[in-house]
């Protein structure tokens, strides 16, 4: 199968998975919020965020695992591939042990002495915290198996298991009505689902990939190479966690669990929307790494630049209808909309819209492997979200300031990534600005002007049918502007040719 056909097939599998997951996630979030209540929902959001922060070092190893497995497959080194898998799994066992130690010392102290929550929920909060830790430990051990499936580009399996996972999570919603303490029951059932999914991935890999058979082999130099690479990623991943979950903790300090509930809902919407792009990039990333592994730098850079632009346009088609109808979407989706949620959702979507441009560029840096200075500078920029947000909230600014800070830092980080790539692999920054940035900003500007002058003539009523009609119209208009203003003449010709073949 050709690379383009395999990429298209894998993308379709992932999009099918994503549509089901998005639908179920939005429905379950609505029911979970109703069943738990605003305060308990906010509690679960911030407690789960704490556990994620404790395990930030796992994200660094995740990046390293995916990079090295894809790199070995690209070079066709089967023996090294087996060695890489076993080495990364060993390291993940140690990461899980370290995460457990941190969770049961620093984490448990913070939960009981610093976290803001109602006094009558002490037992529930501690119970939820422990099961969140167990769930997270499972996710750590699962990383090498997931990475191997993605590196082997078996996206159909990834899609099928993802569908099963959302079906099980849908079951959680129906079981919640039977619990005396719904928050505790929710934490237990979430852990059970994670355990089932973990076992399925492991069994599949063991049966299909001979390199997934674990064999402890201590190679000091190779472990050092993996850990050194991961070490530099560690800071960048800590910065990303600080931007997301760290800000959630800061909001809790100043504004309490009700604002955490609004922030948690914005993260749910952000996660659902982000899946459109992350699934596309998940299909592209292994090919970028494999091209760099074979020293096809020109093709790797070209693919990353195209993926960056297409990621933005995919995200734009999804985000614009939500931005235009945020209040109606939330009112239809949720029984009750917590304060600040509308602005939180809108600002968080703008933040990830900018950030999605950077995804393929980050993979390009990871593929080349020269990440030390990149992580120090870009990671330092991203981690500034936390102290700057803290400063503004302490100074009395509204809670929305945390998203404005994130948007500005995302823009600055994107520019820094471009200039780092120029130094690492002679990346053509001017070409990227002309072919990608100018076109995405032009499309965005035209859409904004269209919304600004046309919104007073177009009003969506507060019902599902009106929302669907509005969404279809906005998606169509967005697609037309992307075609007219965002694509090159060569891309337009290729798209026209493919559509003509299908019709």
Q: What is the 3-state secondary structure (H, E, C) of 14-81?
A: HHHHHHHHHHHHHHHHHHHHHHHHHHHHHHHHHHHHHHHHHCHHHHHHHHHHHHHHHHHHHHCCHHHH
* Residue bearing the bigger pLDDT, 15 or 188: 188
Express each pLDDT in 275-300 by its tens digit.
Answer: 777 777 877 888 888 888 888 888 88
What's the predicted TM-score (pTM) here?
Answer: 0.73
Query: How many structural domains are present in the chain?
Result: 2
As a whole number of Å, the CA-based R_g of the chain is 23
- Identify whether residues 456 and 377 lie together within a single domain: no
- Identify whether residues 374 and 460 lie together within a single domain: no
- Identify whether residues 94 and 68 lie together within a single domain: yes
- Identify whether residues 87 and 11 lie together within a single domain: yes
How many beta carbons lie within 10 A of that of residue 61, not counting itself?
A: 26
- Identify whether residues 352 and 446 lie together within a single domain: no
- Identify whether residues 390 and 409 lie together within a single domain: yes
Token pair, residue 365, equals 């840096």
- Identify whether residues 188 and 211 lie together within a single domain: yes
Of the three residues 394, 427, 460, the one that is the final residue of a domain is 427
pLDDT of residue 68: 82
Query: Are 201 and 164 contacting, i.e. CB atoms less than 8 angstroms apart?
Result: no
Express each pLDDT in 32-73 by its tens digit.
Answer: 667 666 667 666 666 666 666 555 555 566 677 878 888 888
- Identify whether residues 422 and 463 lie together within a single domain: no
Of the three residues 370, 401, 427, the one that is the final residue of a domain is 427
The C-alpha torsion from 126 through 130 and 132 to 133, rounded to 10°, is: 140
Reported confidence tier of residue 377, pLDDT bands at 50, 70, 90: confident
- Identify whether residues 468 and 395 lie together within a single domain: no
Q: Work out the average pLDDT over 477-482.
A: 90
pLDDT of residue 391: 92
- Identify whether residues 325 and 457 lie together within a single domain: no
Reported confidence tier of residue 230, pLDDT bands at 50, 70, 90: confident
- Identify whether residues 305 and 449 lie together within a single domain: no
- Identify whether residues 108 and 58 lie together within a single domain: yes
Look at the chain and count its residues.
503
Of the three residues 364, 398, 427, the one that is the final residue of a domain is 427
The C-alpha torsion from 353 through 358 and 359 to 365, rounded to 10°, is: 180
Averaged pLDDT score across all residues of the chain: 81
Query: Are 331 and 462 contacting, i.e. CB atoms less than 8 angstroms apart?
Result: yes
Query: Which structural domain, as residue segments, surrounds residue 497?
Result: 430-503
């Amino acid at each position: 199968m050709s690379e383009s056909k395999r990429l298209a097939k894998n993308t379709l599998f992932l999009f099918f998975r994503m549509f089901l997951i998005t639908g179920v996630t939005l429905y379950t979030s609505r029911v979970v919020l109703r069943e738990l209540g605003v305060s308990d929902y906010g509690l679960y959001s911030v407690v789960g965020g704490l556990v994620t922060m404790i395990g930030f070092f796992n994200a660094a190893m995740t990046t390293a695992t995916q990079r090295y497995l894809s790199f070995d497959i690209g070079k066709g080194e089967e023996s090294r591939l087996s060695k890489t898998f076993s080495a990364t799994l060993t390291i993940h066992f140690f990461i899980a042990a370290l995460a457990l130690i941190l969770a049961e010392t620093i984490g448990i102290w913070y939960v009981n002495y610093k976290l803001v929550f109602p006094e009558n929920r002490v037992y529930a909060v501690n119970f939820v915290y422990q099961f969140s830790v167990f769930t997270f430990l499972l996710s750590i051990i699962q990383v090498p198996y997931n990475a191997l499936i993605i590196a082997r580009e078996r996206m159909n399996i990834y899609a099928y298991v993802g569908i099963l996972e959302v079906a099980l999570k849908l079951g959680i919603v129906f079981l919640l009505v039977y619990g005396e303490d719904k928050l505790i029951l929710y934490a237990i059932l979430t852990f059970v689902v994670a355990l089932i999914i973990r076992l399925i991935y492991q069994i599949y890999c063991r049966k299909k990939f001979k390199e997934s058979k674990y064999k402890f082999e201590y190679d000091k130099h190779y472990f050092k190479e993996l850990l050194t690479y991961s070490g530099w990623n560690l800071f960048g991943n800590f910065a990303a966690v600080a931007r997301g979950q760290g800000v959630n903790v800061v909001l809790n300090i100043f504004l309490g669990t009700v604002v955490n509930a609004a922030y948690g809902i914005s993260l749910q919407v952000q996660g659902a929307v982000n899946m459109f792009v992350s699934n596309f990039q998940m299909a592209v990333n292994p090919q970028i790494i494999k091209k760099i592994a074979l020293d096809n730098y020109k093709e790797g850079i070209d693919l990353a630049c195209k993926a960056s632009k297409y990621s933005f346009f995919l995200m734009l088609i999804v985000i614009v209808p939500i931005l235009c109808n945020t209040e109606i979407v939330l009112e239809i989706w949720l029984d009750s909309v917590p304060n600040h949620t509308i602005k939180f959702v809108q600002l968080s979507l703008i933040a990830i819209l900018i950030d999605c441009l950077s995804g393929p560029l980050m993979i390009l840096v990871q593929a080349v492997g020269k990440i030390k200075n990149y992580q120090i500078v870009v990671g330092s920029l991203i981690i500034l979200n936390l102290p700057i947000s803290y400063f503004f909230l302490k100074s009395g600014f509204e809670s929305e300031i945390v998203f404005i800070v994130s948007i500005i830092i995302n823009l600055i980080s994107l520019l820094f990534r471009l200039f780092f790539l120029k130094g690492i692999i002679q990346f053509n920054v001017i070409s990227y600005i002309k072919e990608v940035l100018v076109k995405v900003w032009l499309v965005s500007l035209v859409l904004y002007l269209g919304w600004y002058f046309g919104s007073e003539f177009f009003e969506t009523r507060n019902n599902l049918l009106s929302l669907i009609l509005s969404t279809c119209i906005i998606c169509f208009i967005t697609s037309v502007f992307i075609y007219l203003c965002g694509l090159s003449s060569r891309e337009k010709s290729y798209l026209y040719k493919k559509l003509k073949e299908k019709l």
